[in-house]
Amino acid sequence: MAHAEREGLACGRLTIDLEALADNWRSLAERTQQTECGAAIKGDGYGTGLEKAAATLSRAGCRTLFTAVPDEGLRARSAAPESRVFVLAGLLPGAAEAYRKGGLIPVLNCPDEVIEWAEYCAAAGQRLPAAIHLDTGMNRMGLSLEEARLIAAAKDVVARFDLVLVMSHLVCGGDPANPLNARQLERFHEMTALFPGVPRSLANSPGIFLGADYHFDVARPGISLYGGRAMDDGENPMRPVVTAEARVLITHSAAKGETVGYGAVETLRRDSRIAIVGIGYADGYHRLAGAGGGHKPANAWVNGHVVPLVGRVSMDLIALDVTDVPEADCSRGDWVEMFGPHIPVDDVAAKAGTIGYELLTGLGSRYTRTYIGGS
């Protein structure tokens, strides 16, 4: 089926601006200056399509990619064969040969992974690359200080593979005033001193905005590449990459005092015109962005007009209050921006009590996708 025909049958569509993705990477690379700027493309390229994201970033000049799981790593290697590809989930048990064949670089997160990779490299007669993850305060993945000391002291173990990176992850980087940032930075200096001469990586998207002290040798931005907000406050300087739209299925009138949607959580305060659009939480648009959560619902944008959601978000349908929109500007078949250049994804996420990451990575399979700006 041709793309135009598929879109004609779709109730939701995504437009993904690959040139904006490339521009965002170039902007972040300018901020990091002498630090290599890599890219996190996990979560299917934050919902943009992993292969498209990897190829676009590679063409822009990115040479280091970070994926979450091995399958993502293999897909990234296929799309960007000139790039280094790190697997943040680490070395899965018994999978070292598959990592070698796939050209994947495991991020070793515990002593057992370090030993297994070292033993595999010794048996294969190759010093294959790996990274070591250091836990500086997240208490999620990575070697503790004591474990790092033991591994660093076991020089015969580390010498069996090529240690190309030591890294850690910021807990509160989006809040520059949080004292944990400085404590993590101090701990990172302490722990990486155990591995002298090895390139270091600490800065994710927020870390880049925290300044040069956090940049080290390799930065690995994620959400900022895809247009999301990295810092808790202030303007977001990144270009939006993903536009999610829903088709108007019907419009109808409803009288003051009537309720809209499940649970009757919202009562109309005036005679209203309601537009029903064809996406919902099955498409990754969060239920809590609608009414009933104790806050004002999210907004959408239709032909130059900002309109609020009304009632609860359903699995497949969302109601919008278009009373103040001329009928000619909102009628059956029109497309409504649910988030994108006019409705920032982080604004919608905030209404739903979540973050832009979750909306982007949770985009459903029913949208048609259009890519623009790619070569």
Which of 42, 281, 351, 357 is labelled catalytic?
Answer: 42
* Catalytic residue (choose from 52, 99, 120, 262): 262
Q: Which structure tokens are listed for 84?
A: 């280094």
**Annotation says 262 is catalytic:** yes
Helix (H), strand (E), coil (C) string for the chain: CCHHHHHHCCCEEEEEEHHHHHHHHHHHHHHHCCCEECEECHHHHHCCCHHHHHHHHHHHCCCEEEECCHHHHHHHHHHCCCCEEEECCCCCCCCHHHHHHHCCEEEECCHHHHHHHHHHHHHHCCCCEEEEEECCCCCCCCECHHHHHHHHHCHHHHCCCEEEEEECCCCCCCCCCCHHHHHHHHHHHHHHCCCCCCCEECCCHHHHHHCHHHCCCEECCCHHHHCCCCCCCCCCCCCCCEEEEEEEEEEEEECCCCECCHHHCCECCCCEEEEEECCCHHHCCCHHHCCCCCCCCCEEEECCEEEEECCCCCCCCEEEECCCCCHHHCCCCCEEEEECCCCCHHHHHHHCCCCHHHHHHCCCCCCEEEEECCC
d(CA 172, CA 277): 37
Largest CA distance in the chain: 78
Tokens for 294, please give them.
Answer: 């104790």
Q: By C-alpha distance, which of 36, 134, 17 is closest to 83? A: 36
List active site positions. Answer: 42, 262
